[in-house]
Structure 1
């Protein structure tokens, strides 16, 4: 198996609309930047994010039920920021970043996520709830 030459590594290039939607979805999510920063090094299980664990680890803005947490993480999967972790037995309850997620972490490094505007929340709501199912 050939070794990867990291000097020739080129990051994936995403359309500006994809980047804007992903950024808006992340800042409108109930999660803090600490969650995605931690995901740069390891996968994180749903149990570590839901309920009071999310507050204790600094991952969430408020306690989330497992269902609410799973739905919010599912939306970040749909916009391409996260993916579910897979092991030898199949899909697990853990999550990791995608290349798009790494680009967002790099963009927001050394700062907190911006506070979403009313326009951001409205655009995220429209995109999330009125999307086509394919």
Structure 2
């Protein structure tokens, strides 16, 4: 198991399989690193990520409908990279990084954002389709 640094004083320990799945899901997502770096300091709303707005801001690789964007963000929640923002009234339309998300973003800040291979895309699609236990 690997221990990584995060803003949380207690280190989280993740299995190598968890780290690989999360990294693969992150690089196969339709989002740029700039979205995740922005999420390090603030909650980002679905409206700021979806449609032409997210593309012009540099958050997405192409304009995404709200449904496609919400599904992609939902997958990143399932693999443990993101969480929904909560306020006093309940769940909002904002998203933030989890400790695992912080760790992966920190890893990519000083390197180039990798392009997913065909194998990465196929593996991610199969995992998403079948929602295999991890």
1:71 alignment counterpart: 71
> C-alpha separation between the residues in 2 aligned to 1:113 and 1:80?
19
Which protein has the larger Cα radius of gyration, Structure 1 or Structure 2? Answer: 1
TM-score w.r.t. length of structure 1: 0.90
1:22-61 mapped onto 2 (5 Å cutoff): 22-61=22-61
1:1-134 mapped onto 2 (5 Å cutoff): 9-132=9-132
What is the CA RMSD across the aligned residues, in angstroms?
A: 1.5
Kept in 2, the 8 Å contact 1:33–1:112? The answer is no
Q: 1:87 to 1:109 in 2, by over 3 A?
A: same
TM-score w.r.t. length of structure 2: 0.90
Query: Gapped runs of 5+ residues in structure 1?
Result: 1-7
Q: 1:112 to 1:54 in 2, by over 3 A?
A: farther
> C-alpha separation between the residues in 2 aligned to 1:44 and 1:112?
23
2:3 alignment counterpart: none
Secondary structure of 1:52's partner? Answer: helix
> C-alpha separation between the residues in 2 aligned to 1:73 and 1:38?
15
Structure (1 or 2) with the greater strand fraction: 2
Query: Gapped runs of 5+ residues in structure 2?
Result: 1-7
The alpha-carbon deviation at position 111 of structure 1 amounts to: 3.2
Deviates more, 1:103-112 or 1:71-80: 103-112
Runs of 4+ in 1 over 3 A off after TM superposition: none
> C-alpha separation between the residues in 1 aligned to 2:111 and 2:58?
15
The alpha-carbon deviation at position 21 of structure 1 amounts to: 0.3
